[in-house]
Structure 1
């Protein structure tokens, strides 16, 4: 089952398909090139020009290497750790030799051979430094540490969710005992979800079902004041997995900060669609609360943003904003963008 462990120390090599890993590698290589330029040049102005020259020659080969590593990334993860590291080091050394021979073609005499060997060793050493950095980073974000942090973050979601649901059930016990019994069964199912291991990713359909159950319970409290419009694209992959309790806290925010304080009817709109290799989750609700309610929005949003960073590094993002409509009303919009890669994993 897919887990938060996929991005951390459970694997000997970084995920070369992850945009965060790619960005860090490119930054690391450019920093090494800048250091080399500073060492080789006689002044700051000369070092800047030398760095620009080096970067313009290194970047195309670096991009090619990253693309190649992304293509064979799954195979690297299946191989023994030393084999994967050796492949990366050999690829870096071969690229450095190729770049050196391309920049200064020489015959294979003693001096030319020594220069190529030196270039290969430097390339391998640079790759080794970057692998060491990723190993240290993985150790710092070890599964035990990050999973404990993730559990703590998830636990912060629960209070409002449970208290509001219990209040909704209590209000029905005398007025409609049968519906109260059904609501208790739904609440028991929600408790079961909360008791799961939140380190694991779950099918998108399960997260949507959880959200519908939550909204059914809230509708018991708010009645006709709460209206929800679901817009689910037909091409949503059923096997796609997402973090648990990712959309539900947003709906809770929409109810608590948008519908409940307004005293009028309101509509929450939820749209899910795939665009290329990304899953888009858009949620819109009216702005019904005052300053106190708006301040409260940010705890759940920061919670989700941090959990997305733990799961996906830089490949996921959460965007929020308040928009003024033509009729003078205001609405709050939230968008989550997740990678769809590895749908079956």
Structure 2
């Protein structure tokens, strides 16, 4: 009987290790279509269309400023004085600004089809698009001024547009490749830290203790744990609503409430207008876990954890606040905070802010992101 019980315990452990290794190889690119528990293929970490995801304010601003800088430098070599240079830059800006913005808009709209094209066709298509948008920008300039439009001028504008598009595409590909190691590291850390083993063991022990005295509550604990694992094993690249993240954080804190009882004091201050904001999955759970680990667990009297959400115009503000008392028994490495910051940057670029505010008696994590 002991042997059969032992084998029934160890077999799932081996299965879970195999599942984790499959996830890791998927992240590293060795097995990008590993099936999940439902038999459906998991989404690959490196989306082929992500290199063309130019629908971000920060990226558009960098592209426009880069092209304008090249225009200003090039015209500085071809003009004789400051007045002539300023007139040439003003005219050239009409062409470059309209051409670059239109090029970025079309690339953003067609990012999925572009990602499925072979490499050579990507270059040809986007350089041809650059030539077309530059020519359209030139036609727009001609509506406001009488610029000569000979064959040589038109050809040079088209060639310049194609070359500029090639530079932008090279920059986008280099940017995407440079983000891969950081993205892979962030998701590896996420897989390792999503639900810590000691949390799993504590939860199961709490459920076992409740089975005889309060079976209904034990069932609720196991349901909350099941939901945490379901989200932890879901596609990490898809965005979720802030309302879903709040619900997941509630489940986590409900489980911890079983363990800490009155020592864990939780307050919620939630703005319904902020509920629809899109956030990376598992944004709040690592933050409230950190709050419990550092603000409640080390203190005999427990501590306070507060979660706030607030819509401010076109932005949503999220705060996770915990009281500070005795230092944690094990010092953290800041991996969870770096992971959250990295995923926010990958999803919202410069439109999101992540701030830490340590004070003598409380610690605040503040997130601002577009609604």
TM-score normalised over the length of structure 2: 0.69
In structure 2, do the counterparts of structure 1 residues 200 and 11 end up closer, same or farther at CA, with 3 Å as the change threshold? closer
Range moving further from structure 2, 187-196 or 112-121: 112-121
2:169 to 117, 127, 131: 131
The answer to which structure, 1 or 2, has the higher relative contact order (CA under 8 A, 6+ apart) is: 1
Deviation at 1:147, TM superposition (A): 6.9
Deviation at 1:335, TM superposition (A): 1.5
Q: Is the 8 A contact 1:229 1:269 kept in 2?
A: yes
- In structure 2, how many angstroms separate the alpha carbons of the residues matched to 1:71 and 1:275? 27
- In structure 2, how many angstroms separate the alpha carbons of the residues matched to 1:307 and 1:331? 25
User: Residue deviations 1:2-60, cap 9 Å, x none?
Assistant: x9989953267442x30232132034214423542565489xxx8x9998776666557
1:247 to 259, 284, 288: 284
Matched, 1:338 2:357: no
Tell me the equivalent position of 1:285.
322
Secondary structure of the residue that 1:173 maps to in structure 2? Answer: helix
Alignment of 1:190-229 (within 5 A): 190-229=228-267
- In structure 2, how many angstroms separate the alpha carbons of the residues matched to 1:322 and 1:304? 17
Work out the number of aligned pairs and report it.
319
1:158 to 189, 194, 201: 194
Q: Is the 8 A contact 1:201 1:242 kept in 2?
A: yes
Q: Is the 8 A contact 2:58 2:350 kept in 1?
A: yes
Secondary structure of the residue that 2:296 maps to in structure 1? Answer: helix
Matched, 1:232 2:270: yes
Deviation at 1:313, TM superposition (A): 3.1
In structure 2, do the counterparts of structure 1 residues 320 and 225 end up closer, same or farther at CA, with 3 Å as the change threshold? same
Q: Is the 8 A contact 2:299 2:325 kept in 1?
A: yes
- In structure 1, how many angstroms separate the alpha carbons of the residues matched to 2:353 and 2:46? 16
Deviation at 1:169, TM superposition (A): 4.0
Tell me the equivalent position of 1:188.
226
User: Residue deviations 1:122-181, cap 9 Å, x none?
Assistant: 244223321332244345657xx7875453131132353x42243144256346452344
- In structure 1, how many angstroms separate the alpha carbons of the residues matched to 2:45 and 2:137? 29
Q: Is the 8 A contact 1:4 1:311 kept in 2?
A: no
In structure 2, do the counterparts of structure 1 residues 337 and 255 end up closer, same or farther at CA, with 3 Å as the change threshold? same
The two structures, once aligned, show a CA RMSD in angstroms of 4.0
Secondary structure of the residue that 1:199 maps to in structure 2? Answer: coil
Secondary structure of the residue that 1:261 maps to in structure 2? Answer: coil
Q: Is the 8 A contact 2:353 2:369 kept in 1?
A: yes
Tell me the equivalent position of 2:23.
none
- In structure 2, how many angstroms separate the alpha carbons of the residues matched to 1:67 and 1:212? 43
Matched, 1:256 2:293: yes
- Runs of 5+ unmatched residues, structure 2: 1-41, 115-121
- Runs of 5+ unmatched residues, structure 1: 324-328, 341-345
User: Residue deviations 1:258-310, cap 9 Å, x none?
Assistant: 122233243222112333443321111112243876x6262211111112223
- In structure 1, how many angstroms separate the alpha carbons of the residues matched to 2:162 and 2:64? 15
Tell me the equivalent position of 2:19.
none
Secondary structure of the residue that 1:167 maps to in structure 2? Answer: helix
Q: Is the 8 A contact 2:131 2:157 kept in 1?
A: no
Q: Is the 8 A contact 2:130 2:158 kept in 1?
A: no
